[in-house]
Amino acid sequence: MVESFPWWTEENKKLAKDLETFVLNHYEEAERHYFMKKFPHGILNELKELGYFGAGVPKKYGGMELGATGACIVAEQLGRLYCVGHCFTVSMLGGLHQLIEFGTEEQKEYWLTKIAKGQLGAVCITEPFAGSDAANVYTSAVKDGDEWVINGKKRYITNAGTGHRYFMYIKTSDDPKDRAAYRHLSTFVFERGTKGFSLEKINDLIGFDNVPNGYLNMKDVHLPESAMVGEQGQGWEIMMSGLNFERMIGSAGVGGSLLDAARLLHFHSQRRIQFGKPLKFIENVSFTLARLVARLKYARLMSFYTAYLLDLGKQPIIESSIAKWFNVDWAMQSGIETVQAMGGDALTRFYPVERMIREAKIGQLVAGTNEVMAYLVYRVATSMAMTKELETPFRFKMDEEAGYPIATLDKGPYVEQEATSELVLKILAEDYRVNPSLYMMIDDIKKQCKGSRKKIREICKELENNGLVVAFYDRKGEIKMVKANYKGLDKAYPPEHYRWFPDWYDIERDAFFG
């Protein structure tokens, strides 16, 4: 039985239960398609008839209106049917979230209705020039009267050929100012069969054994103005919003594979006898299964919490990046550990564990590499979403009795004094005692005395000119951080101020002073 979350509605729970039954009834068929490398048209057609492609589509356009959570529930369960899960997930990425957020009413009526009915789609970002550097798109759209003329290529496109709908990010400006402001991209959506649009080739990858993934070619493809989603130059914004959804729904699909890995290892460890006992009684194997269960729990929680935030209308950049990053890394590590626990059996294709490793390797690259995810988490957390949470609410001061720096809410003895050269130098000297290797930021100094940033920078510049501090400058040429040098420390306080020895140290016998 699929474990639900407290915020799921009764409709969410019913969807999960129905889908679990569907997956169990089609598991054998999906596996047969996988081993024979055949596309599962029959299973996908059944899904379309049952309306599962419309889980995240508003009822107004023929969907279930279960939001990102509903789409995640479907992705998680269908992820256990391999190619079926990939096709569903990528079809949702090919316009569902982006059209709901940025499409016109006419576009929603046309495209969302098709999505709800099960039209397969694809999202097209990657090119020979644009991978992790997603802004470096060369495929171009040039305005010709009331049409756009598209030329270029897209590659590593899942559902290539089998998809009917293609959601693309295309360059519409070569102006350096637009490029610098990320206003050089626009978004287009159109269907296969459009003149000049063709499938160039299908890739043979490390995984995706029966999942079509390939190159697309556009040669003088003429599109009407109505094919553009959002405004001209809004492509980057739409892409980033779409990627939050993409990473979330992709991470949910990983949950299904983690569940199957845990089930398989549990099954195997009960029945495999080594050293006179079942594997489950060998500690390392039991710990491996414990890690799989823990990762499964965390993976599902992160994916569905991210979906919950999206359904609340938020833009969970950090959460979606973490979900994608950790879930596929956990899938890779779980696959490797499960192979190790099962031994030689897991090296064969009798069991799906080796497939999990190959799939996880693809997952570590698609929708932004995991290194990009880590950078996004760092950048957004430190410059936008978590600046308040990450800000230290206290300062450190030296406890004279203990001889160690302690955290304190006390703002310091100079907080009511006007900043002067002598005072700033003393503040820097005190910081040396508690943070001997760190610089102080201008704002750090400002919190401990009275004075504007401009005034404190001027004082720091004066101290630097007098050879008492070392300054670090930002790109604008302004002092950003400063640290007292040895001469400055000597000027601020006598040598005795910096000395401290633990009780066990024999000062009279071993210490020396010049």
pLDDT tens for 221-275 read 999 999 999 999 999 999 998 888 989 998 998 887 888 889 899 999 988 888 9
- Inter-residue contact 108 to 59 (CB < 8 Å): no
Give yes or no: residues 333 and 381 share one domain: yes
162 located within any domain? no
pLDDT value for 180: 92
Q: Which residues contact 84 (CB under 8 A, 6 or more apart)?
A: 26, 30, 40, 43, 44, 47, 78
The stretch 85-109 carries a mean pLDDT of 94
Task: Give the count of domains, the chain.
Answer: 2
112 located within any domain? no
pLDDT value for 260: 85
Residue that finishes a domain, picked among 388, 417, 442: 388
**408 pLDDT exceeds 90?**
no
Tell me how far apart the alpha carbons of residues 212 and 121 are, in angstroms, rounded to a whole number. 12
pLDDT tens for 334-370 read 999 999 999 888 888 888 888 889 888 988 888 888 8
Please list the alpha-helical segments (H only) found in 59-159.
67-78, 83-93, 96-102, 105-107, 113-116
**160 pLDDT exceeds 90?**
yes
Least confident among 211-220, 432-441, 505-514: 505-514
- Print burial letters for 474-492: b (CB count within 10 Å at least 16), e (below 16): eeeeebbbbbbbeebbebb
Give yes or no: residues 278 and 344 share one domain: yes
**How long a stretch of residues is the chain?**
514
**514 pLDDT exceeds 70?**
no
The stretch 420-425 carries a mean pLDDT of 96
Which of helix, strand or coil describes residue 445? helix
Q: Check which CATH number belongs to the domain holding 485 and give it.
A: 1.10.10.10
pLDDT tens for 279-317 read 888 888 999 999 999 999 999 999 999 999 999 999 899
Containing structural domain, residue 484: 395-510
**165 pLDDT exceeds 70?**
yes
Q: Check which CATH number belongs to the domain holding 305 and give it.
A: 1.20.140.10
Both tokens of 411, joined, read 């703002």
Give yes or no: residues 404 and 370 share one domain: no
184 located within any domain? no
**496 pLDDT exceeds 70?**
yes
Give yes or no: residues 414 and 342 share one domain: no
pLDDT tens for 129-156 read 888 888 899 999 999 999 999 999 999 9
Residue that finishes a domain, picked among 334, 365, 388: 388
Give yes or no: residues 455 and 506 share one domain: yes
When the pLDDT of each residue in the chain is averaged and rounded to a whole number, the result is 92
